[in-house]
Amino acid sequence: MKPLVLVIASVGLLASSPAGAQLVFSGTGHAKDGDSLTVDDREIRLFGIDAPEFDQTCQRAGIRWACGNEAANQLSALVTGKTVRCEAVGTDRYERTLARCRVGATDVNRTMVALGLAVAYRRYSSDYVATEASAKGNRLGLWAGEFENPGDYRHAEEAPAQPRRASNRATRKAPTSGNWAGRAKANCNIKGNRNRKGQWIYHLPGMPYYDQTRPEEIFCTEAEARAAGYRRAIVR
């Protein structure tokens, strides 16, 4: 029986090894956004980089563009349907595996930063700072215009909207469909909606639930929506 006891003890030690221990694995990739993916059934967060959130927009030549969506599309082009090999370095607070990943000879993490569609996540690593500097110098991707740091953008999203006065909630009337039509003609397409939890949330075109959201108010700008007491929908 002693050999069997030793084997069981060894297995227990492996199972309790620290999350930061390096683990190499591979499988079929599928992008989720600009810095996260799945490899088979494992959720991965690319280590050391930070890409715009899926619904985030940036400015280029004075025009807003869907930088978060473009980052997601680029990661999809790199990994989706392909064999991805990753080296785990730990886990994040959402229990996703933090990893450096490759497709063949292509370093996926570094490529996203090199194309200017992600920034070096200095809070956790300096691995891609030089790559970011090169992308910035060549005005690639995000660096071709103006953008909000993805971390700052997430922080703003998570901050609760200022509460509206009870009297406003009780007396404010939702705009009529005729008003909506008029606002739509003026390119006003931000939908304000009050969910079942009583939260006042606005949705931008291109967000996952935009099409099925029934608006109670329509806004022309995010500033207008926030001033009315709404907060931006959080997309994870």
- How confident is the model over 62-105, as pLDDT tens digits? 899 999 999 999 999 999 999 999 999 999 988 999 999 999 99
The pLDDT score that the predictor gives to residue 205 is 84
Strands in the chain per DSSP E: 23-31, 36-39, 42-46, 49-50, 58-60, 63-65, 83-91, 97-103, 106-107, 119-120, 190-194, 200-203, 217-219, 231-232
State whether 124 and 170 are in the same domain.
no
Q: Same domain, yes or no, for 63 and 120?
A: yes
Clarify whether residues 122 and 30 are in a common domain. Answer: yes
Residue 185 included in any domain: yes
Residue at a domain's end among 119, 137, 154: 154
For residues 59 and 147, state if they share a domain. yes
Domain termination residue (choose one: 118, 137, 154): 154
Q: Please tell me the total count of domains within the chain.
A: 2
Among 34-38, 89-93, 103-107, 159-163, whose mean pLDDT is lowest? 159-163
**Confidence band of 194 (pLDDT split at 50, 70, 90):** confident
114 and 184 co-located in one domain: no
36 with 147, same domain: the answer is yes
Predicted local distance difference test score (pLDDT) of residue 75: 97
Instruction: Give 215's pLDDT tier (boundaries 50, 70, 90).
Output: confident
Under 8 Å CB-to-CB from 192, ≥6 apart: which residues?
200, 201, 202, 215, 216, 217, 218, 219, 225, 228, 230
Confidence of residue 219 (pLDDT cuts 50, 70, 90): confident
Nearby residues of 62 by Cβ (< 8 Å), 6 or more positions away = none
Tell me what pLDDT residue 158 has. Answer: 57
Residues 76 and 149 occupy one common structural domain = yes
Average pLDDT over residues 35-49: 96
In a domain, 228, yes or no: yes
Q: Report the CATH number at residue 111.
A: 2.40.50.90
pLDDT number for residue 5? 34
Domain of residue 134, residue span: 17-154
Predicted model pTM: 0.61
User: In this structure, is residue 171 part of a structural domain?
Assistant: yes
- 210/105 same-domain check: no
Whether residue 8 is contained in a domain is answered as: no
42 within some domain: yes
Tell me how far apart the 2 most distant CA atoms of the chain are, in Å: 81
Assign 174 a pLDDT band (cuts: 50, 70, 90).
Answer: very low
Model confidence at 168, pLDDT cuts 50, 70, 90, reads: very low
From 134, 154, 174, the end of a domain falls on 154
Task: Report how far residue 32's alpha carbon sits from residue 97's, in angstroms, rounded to the nearest whole number.
Answer: 14
Same structural domain for residues 164 and 150? Answer: no
Q: 30 vs 18, 33, 164, CA distance in Å?
A: 27, 9, 41
In this structure, the answer to whether residues 101 and 46 fall within a common structural domain is yes
Residue 5 within any structural domain of the chain = no
**Does one domain contain both 74 and 170?**
no
**4 lies in a domain?**
no
What is the pLDDT at residue 213? Answer: 80
Is the residue at 10 inside a domain? no
User: In terms of domains, do 134 and 190 share one?
Assistant: no
| Residue 157 confidence (pLDDT) | 58
